[in-house]
Structure 1
């Protein structure tokens, strides 16, 4: 899997949430952000598939 790196600006509450989730799941903050994005991608795919 190829990866890309970029900077992201987050509101303080979103950053705190990501940090807390990473600590709770014993994972990195990057992993938590990717998990959130993948969850959204899965939901969007299911919604698009269901609409057809």
Structure 2
């Protein structure tokens, strides 16, 4: 990923705690967990869009 741009993100405490726990459980950074979650959502949206065509 060569075109990274910083993003300030404010999360509710419950999401921040969940994110921290997921990152620790997976041996990953919190940033990586956010990217993973967004990619999963993107994939799900693409799959749903293909199914409705």
Verify same fold: TM over 0.5.
yes
Question: RMSD of the TM alignment (CA)?
Answer: 0.6
Deviation at 1:12, TM superposition (A): 0.2
Q: Structure 2 length as normaliser, TM-score?
A: 0.93
Structure 2 residue 48 is the aligned partner of structure 1 residue 47: yes
In structure 2, the partner of 1:9 is 10
In structure 1, distance between residues paired with 2:14 and 2:21 = 10
In structure 2, the partner of 1:25 is 26
State the number of aligned residues: 52
Q: Structure 1 length as normaliser, TM-score?
A: 0.95
Unaligned runs of 5+ in 1: none
